[in-house]
Structure 1
Amino acid sequence: MDRVTAATVFNRICELGSLSAAARALDISRPMVSRYLDEMEKWAGARLLHRSSRRLTITPAGEKILEKSRALARLAEDIADQGTQRDVQGILRVACAHSTATHILGPMIPAFLARYPALRIELEINNQPVSLVGERIDLAVRITNDPEPGAIARRLGECVSVVCASPAYLQQYGTPQTPQDLTQHNCLHYSRFAGQRWQFNDRNGEVITTTISGNFSAGISSVLCDAASAGCGVAMVPEMEARAAINSGQLQRLMPDFTPKTLGIYGLYMSRDRQPAALRLFLAAVQQRLAEDVPAAS
């Protein structure tokens, strides 16, 4: 088997924490991921991961190999890059929501364009779904668990949410300890969702759904985050959106024993056939950006 590919697969398993997640991210089968992992362990002559029904744990040997496999993947990418740079040109039209542009795509695009200077990227920011064909969009990046039908949906990563409120709000109204407590609080929510239900997993993996209500809604997570920082109420927003306010003390994470439902981050495009080099490389760059931006445990 291709050892460079095996190294890439091993890297993705370690980044995402499961073989199934790596299979989805790389768009290959779960058995193929297992075969590449077996190849890496044969090549290293050691067990790299401890596998159980619940989780994967990297071994000390795996930690050392991971450093080398990442270096190998970067070297292979640089070599391949020399041959593809001349093919990465023209216009790549990408659509995404405001928070995705601010926290995911915007920070990575300058380096991507520096790497492929003959390419031009047009970023269309729209919080509503777009028509890939009708609006001539090459790629839509969407945070959802239900990608729109009619296009290929490639899972690029995960969007982790947090429930948070300002210290001033919590001092005045108290701190919710469980999802059920949220019914007694002013919850700031997304205006485009008809039914306002927040879903959580407890420490045992049980799903808990709570109906919430509040006096303010908005279609952009940054507005909800700002309102929460100003003491308006409790918000559930992407961790990447709230991170700066949490780190500065403007917002406080709530209910550590209950994890908000995780959403997928998908790249939507029309065809796998004759996929332009720019699209293929941009998808890989977004995946890498998301893998490097895994939030720290609270």
Structure 2
Amino acid sequence: MTEQLDAQGRLRHLLTLEGLPRSVLERLLDRAQAIAERGAGAAPLAGRAVCTLFFEPSTRTRMSFQRAAQRLGADVLNFDASTSSTTKGETARDTLKNIEAMGVHGFVVRHADNGAVDALAAAAAPGTALVNAGDGRHAHPTQGLLDMLTLRQAKGADFSALRVAIVGDIRHSRVARSDLHALRTLGIGEVRACAPAALLPDDATLDGCALYDDLDAALDGVDAVMMLRLQRERMEEGLVPSLEAYHAAYGLTAARLRRAAADAVVLHPGPMNRGVEIDDEVADGPQSLILRQVANGVAVRAAVLEALLGDPPAAA
């Protein structure tokens, strides 16, 4: 895998949260909190260019990266695969290298294939930085960071006593993987993973987690509930009998949420299937932090872009 840190411990790329030191995660979270409270300062990326290179659809991630880059003073180029030369057979690597040749050295990449962003990072020139905005089922590191920032704002920086439930299609979720990497690195007390057996991963993703197939039991006393989108193609694959059956067993309702701690919070990365994995009353209720997650996405992505493309801190 492409090295994410340089010899001084500064970020070169952000491809995954797996293996990053706790100090790096906390530094990014601290900077994101400062940006959320006070802004990013006087255009630290003025004169630099950032390209959102998305080969998959996106709303929140693409737009928040664009907003973050704008707040930092960067020029933003938006790549649309449906109207690009990829429709004529150009490879993702050639697309990257051509845009790089125009003087662009910051890329935010979303791709359907596991490992695709890592491969592009390996092909990039020295001084070019890539952020993984989601690759296949593999990783979505900035979503993991914004989820941690949201949880930290609600519950404090010490995660050691927290109990968190992750519910839904964990098997196919890059968000769940990045959340789990971050939670472990930040010292989470307990993680409960709840899903039907067909939607649980068959690798080491859930090592150390308590596994549940009963949502009511999984919610008992937890401090945070992280819901995941049910991808509707899972019904076509026969992994879920019906949306109604899934909601009956694994949908988060107001009645079910009452089993959690009284001050429990609810997160969801979006897009939501209302009435499937989460009810309106919960999604729009007082314990929901879903829109705060969206707002935090801008601050987190600004902190990441600044760390990758900004000038290194002056020597003391």
TM-score (norm 1): 0.33
TM-score (norm 2): 0.32
Structure possessing the higher radius of gyration over alpha carbons? 1
